[in-house]
């Protein structure tokens, strides 16, 4: 029965899948990860997720102890063993077991963990009505500190932002960067739609370059909408006709209220709905 857990060569279940308290992934958040979806027993955009995982690892001087094609096969094998048609995969590479000191040289062997389970982020009515969001006071990491392009095991600023949203009773939070530009949501990228053109912050500005974001950009261009990767202010969101978020877990979901202001007409807009539909079709097609 799910979840299926693979740790460094051995399969476990929920009760037996455990890591050492000396793993620097736990002690320091020293590691990287991916969240990946399975639709209809097919892993969605696995090569793109693996490319990002290996790039994240390189970004923190961590060598993944398996070659990319080997990890690719392993993920597919784990999904097969889970027996799940629809699943959520969490793939981690941690610095591994060391002693109680920061020095990663004390960790001779990185650990690879693959969990295959399920996830549901929002109930259906959030997709129908759109999310209520607020701008969090907690900014994302400065891009020259821990680059937001690295999907590292350090999610505390995003969690703190999420907690601000929970405390205020909203669904989701929008995070700014250290300069005050709009960056992303707690685990999703964001888009504003104005006069039929999509606008989203560029990856180089310091955001996670989402696999879903890239897929939605492709779909939008196919549908002949303009797409601009440009720095955005909150003003651009407040005055947008539509606003939506994208992520592996959430897929495409509208934001209809931000900081108490109604976005557009206060309902998921036509372009958001069109792209959500096209994304679903793409996910089922699996390319
Ligand atoms: N920004 C951040 C900070 C993320 O963590 C995305 C954007 C979207 O990227 P993808 O590749 O998924 O389109 C993420 C996604 C969750 C959850 O529970 C989300 C993510 C990681 C862990 C959990 O929503 N990452």
Q: Are 248 and 111 contained in the same domain?
A: no
Q: Is the CB–ligand 1 distance for residue 201 below 6 Å?
A: no
Domain membership of residue 64 as a residue range: 4-117
CATH number of 56's domain: 3.30.470.10
Q: Are 258 and 170 contained in the same domain?
A: yes
Contact 263, 244 (CB under 8 A): no
Q: Is the CB–ligand 1 distance for residue 29 below 6 Å?
A: no
Mean pLDDT on 95-103: 96
pLDDT at 25 over 90: yes
Q: Are 102 and 149 contained in the same domain?
A: no
Q: Whose CA is nearest to atom 4 of ligand 1?
A: 187
Q: How many residues does the chain have?
A: 287
Residue 106: pLDDT band with limits 50, 70, 90: very high
Does the annotation mark 199 as catalytic?
A: no
The 10 Å Cβ neighbour count of residue 228 is 12
How many whole angstroms separate alpha carbon 32 and alpha carbon 43?
Answer: 19
Q: Are 166 and 106 contained in the same domain?
A: no
Q: What is the mean pLDDT of the chain?
A: 96
Q: Are 75 and 177 contained in the same domain?
A: no
Q: Are 110 and 194 contained in the same domain?
A: no
Question: 178-219 pLDDT, tens per residue?
Answer: 999 999 999 999 999 999 999 999 998 889 999 999 999 999
Q: What is the pLDDT of residue 116?
A: 98
pLDDT at 256 over 80: yes
pLDDT at 1 over 90: no
How many whole angstroms separate alpha carbon 102 and alpha carbon 64?
Answer: 19
Of the residues 96, 117, 138, which one is the last residue of a structural domain?
A: 117
How many whole angstroms separate alpha carbon 233 and alpha carbon 230?
Answer: 10
Q: Is 196 left (phi over 0), alpha (psi -120 to 50) or beta?
A: left
Q: What percent of the chain has pLDDT over 70?
A: 100
Q: Which of 165, 172, 214, 248 to mutate to test the pocket of ligand 1 (most atoms within 8 A of CB)?
A: 248
Closest to 24 measured CA to CA, from 140, 105, 115, 143: 105
To the nearest 10 degrees (0 to 180), the angle between helices 68-82 and 46-59 is 130
Q: Are strands 42-43 and 87-94 parallel, antiparallel or unpaired?
A: unpaired
Closest to 143 measured CA to CA, from 59, 54, 213: 59
Q: Are 30 and 87 contained in the same domain?
A: yes
Q: What is the pLDDT of residue 271?
A: 98
Q: Are 99 and 160 contained in the same domain?
A: no
**Ligand 1 center–CA 203 separation, angstroms:** 14
Q: What is the pLDDT of residue 90?
A: 98
């Amino acid at each position: 029965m799910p979840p299926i857990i693979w740790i460094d060569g051995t399969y476990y279940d929920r009760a037996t899948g455990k890591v050492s308290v000396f793993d620097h992934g736990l002690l320091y958040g020293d590691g990287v990860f991916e969240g990946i979806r399975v639709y209809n027993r097919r892993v969605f955009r696995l090569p793109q997720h693996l490319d990002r995982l290996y790039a994240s690892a390189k970004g923190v001087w961590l060598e993944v102890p398996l070659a990319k094609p080997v990890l690719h096969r392993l993920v597919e094998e784990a999904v097969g063993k889970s027996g799940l048609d629809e699943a959520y995969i969490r793939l981690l590479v941690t610095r591994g077991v060391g002693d109680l000191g920061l020095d990663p040289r004390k960790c001779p062997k990185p650990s690879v963990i693959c969990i295959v389970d399920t996830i549901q982020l929002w109930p259906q009515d959030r997709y129908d009505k759109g999310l209520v969001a607020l701008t969090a006071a907690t900014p994302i990491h400065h891009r020259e500190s821990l680059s937001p392009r690295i999907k590292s095991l350090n999610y505390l600023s995003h969690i703190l932002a999420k907690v601000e949203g929970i405390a205020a009773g909203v669904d989701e939070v929008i995070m700014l960067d250290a300069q005050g530009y709009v960056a992303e949501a707690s685990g999703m990228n964001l888009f504003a739609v104005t006069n039929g053109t999509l606008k989203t912050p560029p990856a180089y500005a310091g955001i996670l370059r989402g696999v879903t974001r890239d897929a939605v950009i492709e779909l939008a261009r196919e549908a002949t909408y303009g797409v601009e990767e440009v720095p955005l202010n909150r003003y651009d969101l407040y005055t947008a006709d539509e606003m939506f978020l994208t992520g592996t877990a959430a897929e495409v979901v509208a934001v209809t209220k931000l900081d108490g202001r109604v976005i557009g007409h206060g309902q998921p807009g036509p372009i958001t709905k069109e792209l959500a539909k096209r994304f679903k079709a793409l996910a089922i097609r699996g390319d």
